[in-house]
Amino acid sequence: MTQGERRTPARRTVLGAAGATVLGASTALAAGTGTAQAAAADRGADRTPGRGHGYRSLPVPTVIGHRGASGYRPEHTLGSYRHALDLGAHVVEQDLVPTRDGHLVCRHENDITGTTDVADHPEFASRKTTKTVDGVTLTGWFTEDFTLAELKTLRAKERIPGTRQENTLYDGRWTVPTFEEVLRWAEDEGRRRGREIWLHVETKHPSYFRSLGLGLEERLAKLLRRYGRHRANSPVFLQSFEPSSIQRLAKLVDAPGVVLLSGPSTRPWDFVEAGDPRTVADLVTPAGLRWIASYAQGIGPTLDLVIPKDASGRLGTPTTLVRDAHAEGLILHPYTHRNENTFLPADFRKGTDPTAYGDSFGALKRYLETGIDGIFSDNPDTALLAAADLTARD
C-alpha cells in the first residue's frame, strides 16, 4: 500500500469532554468522502424516538475495551468487562468460540490452556490433545472438547502473568462467561447505567468450527435476535478475520460488520481454504476496500497498517489507509493499544523493563491523529485520556 500524509485532508472534527470519558461525535467528514459516509450513516441509524442511533452516534475516537479491561483484569471475564465500563470504555469486546454442545463462550482462543485452570483439574487430564487450527499446531485443552457444564467448573486466570503479575490477584475469581450471559449482563448494566452497552463481537476461527459442525454465525445470529441486537442500529459490532464470516452474518442480521485485517502478507484463513490468492495487502487497496464496503461497515486493521514501523521498531509515515477507507464509507477500529513497553513502538518505550509502562500517550497521539474512528485498548482509561487530549487541541 502507498504511503501518505500524516493527517488526512480536512480531518473530521472530534468533540469531547475532558477527563476519563469522551462524549463526542463526528461532525465533519473528510474532504471528498461526505456523500459515502452520510449514506452509510443513514443506513446505520434509526431516527425513531426512543431508539439508538447506530454506530455513527458513538464518540469519535471510540475507545473499545479489548477483551474488557484486560490490562487490569483477566481477559474475557465479567470482571474485565465491568471494569472496562467503569473506566469509561464506549464499547466492550467479546471473542466467541463454541463448546462441544454448541454454546458460545467468551475466550480469545479455543485453546484454554493459558486462560483457565484446566491443567489443575485431574478429571480433564485426558482431554489434553494436539490439534491444527488454521494451519497452526497447538497442544492443550480446547473448548470444543468440553460441554458447557464441564467448562463452568473451570476458573479464568491471567493469560500473560509474566507481563501482568498484578492481574494474577484475580485468578480464579470468575468463570468463563457464555455470550448469552454477557447479553443479559449488558442489559442489566444498561439499565443500571442508563445507557446502551455496546459490544464488539468476534467470530474466532469460523471456518475451522464450521468444519466440526459447530458453525458460529447461525448461533450468534439466533442470540442477537433473541436479545434484540440484530438491527442496523443495534449497539453491537460483528467482527471477524474471515471475510466470509461477515458476509454470512450480513445475510442473517443487519448489525454492522467489521472485517479484521492482520499483516500485509497474510491471507485470511477462509481465503487459504478457498484458494483465493488475495492477501491483506490486496484488501487494503482502494479496490479491496470497495469490495469490503459491499457487505461490511468497517475494518479493524492492525495498527501497523495505519502507521508502519521501520526496521528498528519505530513509527514511520502513516499510510493512506484511513483516507482510502473513509472514501468507501468504512470506519476504522485498529488494534491493539497497550501501555507496557513490550507492546509499544520502540520510540515510545521508557527504560529497559519490558513490563513497565512506556510513553503510551505519545504513541496514542500519533495513532489518533491519523483520523481513525476508534481503537482497541487493553487500557481504556489511558486511551480515553489520549482522546480527550486530542479533542482539546481540535
Q: Is the pLDDT of residue 201 over 70?
A: yes
At residue 7, the pLDDT reads 32
More confident residue, 245 or 19: 245
Per-residue pLDDT at 21 exceeds 50: no
What domains does the chain contain, in order, with CATH numbers? 34-92+178-393 (3.20.20.190)
Mean pLDDT in residue range 140-161: 98
What pLDDT digit, counting tens, does each position of 285-328 carry? 999 999 999 999 999 999 999 999 999 999 999 999 999 999 99
Q: What are the beta bridge partners of residue 298? A: 258, 331
Residue 49 pLDDT > 70, yes or no?
no
Q: What percent of the chain has pLDDT over 90?
A: 86
Give CA torsion, residues 372, 373, 377, 381, to 10 deg.
110
Residues 6 or more apart in contact with residue 210 via CB below 8 angstroms: 216
Going from the C-alpha of 267 to that of each of 96, 263, 301, 344, the distances in angstroms are 21, 9, 13, 25
d(CA 185, CA 154): 20
pLDDT for position 54: 96
pLDDT tens for each residue of 334-348: 999 999 999 999 999
pLDDT at position 42: 39
Query: What digits encode the pLDDT tens for the residues 67-114?
Result: 999 999 999 999 999 999 999 999 999 999 999 999 999 999 999 999
Q: Residue 183's pLDDT band (boundaries 50, 70, 90)?
A: very high
Query: Considering the entire predicted model, what is its pTM?
Result: 0.87
Q: Return d(Cα 230, Cα 253) in angstroms, integer.
A: 5
Is the pLDDT assigned to residue 247 strictly greater than 70? yes
Q: What is the mean pLDDT of residues 10-20?
A: 33
Mean pLDDT of 352-366: 98
The chain-wide mean pLDDT, for the chain, equals 89
Report the C-alpha gap between 66 and 76 in whole angstroms: 9
Residue 6 is predicted with a pLDDT of 31
Percentages of the chain per state (helix, strand, coil), in multiples of 5: 35, 15, 45
* Cα dihedral across residues 53, 41, 257, 57: positive or negative: negative
pLDDT for res 392: 84
pLDDT in the model for residue 38 = 39
> What whole-number distance in Å separates Cα of residue 101 and Cα of residue 187?
25
- How far is Cα 145 from Cα 154, in angstroms, rounded to an integer? 14
Residue type, 96: L
